[in-house]
Amino acid sequence: MSVKSIEKTLSTLDFFISNMKPGGLSLKEVCASLGFKKSAAHHMLATVCQKGYLYQDLKTKKYLIGSKIKKMSKLAILDDSDFSDFAFEHIKRVNDGTGEAVHLAGFEGTRLITLTMLQSTHPVRVDHGFLNKDHAFHATASGKAILAHMNLANQEKILKKNRVEFTEFTITDKVTLLKELSAIKKNGYAIDDEEFQEGVYCVGYPVFNEYHEPVASVSCSSPKYKIVRDKKYLDKIKSFTQQAAFEISKYYKPKKTIKKGERKYAA
């Protein structure tokens, strides 16, 4: 079950994220775009302002994002810049070596999140996916690479919500997906064969923490015709990507002694 008034409020914040303008957004704009009645929207926004998450410009009456959000953002974990910084050089090496788009993804609960991405340097570019956007776990190599190494309970929890059909090749059947995940786990890498975007082929390798739990993934996308035309090309992409994921996993090398009762290191 979900609380509708909270849903509406957070959808409004979403709207601010994607449509923010320098002077802020007016009540009318919010209502027009989200289909709210103005009095209801006003009550809602007044409450949000009262708590300081938004605020209203005294002169223009337009709504702006409050600094409380900034304060809160400092407490977000996936915003762990250390990790992204550490990973960057390895991601870059894949990008330099292949010229193709490279993604570093992490996750928060059941959400797959793009942490860093490097665009293809080739003329025919593949540029789906944006920073911090949340992606499909089931239809991407990055998602499946992580998912494959989770336990069944978590896999099902994630697949319950994420099974949108993006292309005719998207696997939407849960049993087929679970079978695929087990193959991925055995092979050590995941592929996305036009499952998310037509004409795009993608390879993904998992990044593990010190307990051998999957925490992120590195993936490399390429136009499919290149893969078909030249068999060796895929091997090259795989080797670069695998290497990067392996190196990035070293970020999680145990730093302090493991306390008893904690999981053992198993890499």
User: What does the binding site for DNA look like in residue numbers (CB under 7 A)?
Assistant: 1-5, 8, 26-28, 36-40, 42-46, 56, 59, 61-62, 153, 261
Residue (of 28, 12, 35, 39) closest to 61 by Cα position: 28
In whole angstroms, how close is the CB of 19 to DNA at the nearest point? 14
Task: State which residue, 132 or 176, has the beta carbon closest to a second copy.
Answer: 132
In whole angstroms, how close is the CB of 211 to DNA at the nearest point? 13
Strand-by-strand arrangement of the 190-193 sheet: 134-135, 111-118, 101-108, 214-223, 200-208, 190-193
CB 76 within 8 Å of CB 132:
no
In whole angstroms, how close is the CB of 27 to DNA at the nearest point? 3
Q: What is the DSSP string of 81-116?
A: HHHHHHHHHHHHHHHHHH-SEEEEEEEETTEEEEEE
- Pick from 28, 38, 71, 179 the residue near a second copy by CB under 8 A: 71
Q: Is 99 in the site for a second copy (CB under 8 A)?
A: no
Chain-centroid distance of CA 68 in Å reads 24
Q: Is 85 in the site for a second copy (CB under 8 A)?
A: no
3-state secondary structure of 18: helix
* Part of the chain binding a second copy (CB under 8 A), chosen from 27-35, 75-83, 171-179, 242-250: 75-83
Tell me which of DNA, a second copy, none is bound by residue 27, counting a contact when its beta carbon lies within the kind-specific cut-off of 5 to 8 angstroms: DNA
* Part of the chain binding a second copy (CB under 8 A), chosen from 7-15, 87-95, 116-124, 247-255: 7-15
CB 204 within 8 Å of CB 190:
yes
Structure token pair of residue 199:
């004409």
Q: Mask of contacts with a second copy, 125-144, x by CB under 8 A?
A: -------x-x----------
- Pick from 26, 56, 167, 239 the residue near a second copy by CB under 8 A: 56
- In angstroms and rounded to an integer, the radius of gyration of the C-alpha atoms of the chain is 21
Tell me which of DNA, a second copy, none is bound by residue 38, counting a contact when its beta carbon lies within the kind-specific cut-off of 5 to 8 angstroms: DNA
Q: CA triplet 79, 85, 91: central angle to 5 degrees? A: 110
Region 148-167 residues binding a second copy, contact defined as CB under 8 A: 150, 154, 157
In whole angstroms, how close is the CB of 45 to DNA at the nearest point? 7
Q: What is the DSSP string of 20-48?
A: --TT-B-HHHHHHHHT--HHHHHHHHHHH
Task: State which residue, 194 or 213, has the beta carbon closest to a second copy.
Answer: 213
Number of residues that bind a second copy (CB under 8 A): 53
Residue (of 89, 101, 171) closest to 136 by Cα position: 171
CB 119 within 8 Å of CB 101:
yes
Binding site for a second copy (CB under 8 A): 1-3, 5-7, 9-11, 13-14, 16-17, 20, 43-44, 46-53, 55-58, 64-73, 75-79, 108-111, 113, 132, 134, 150, 154, 157
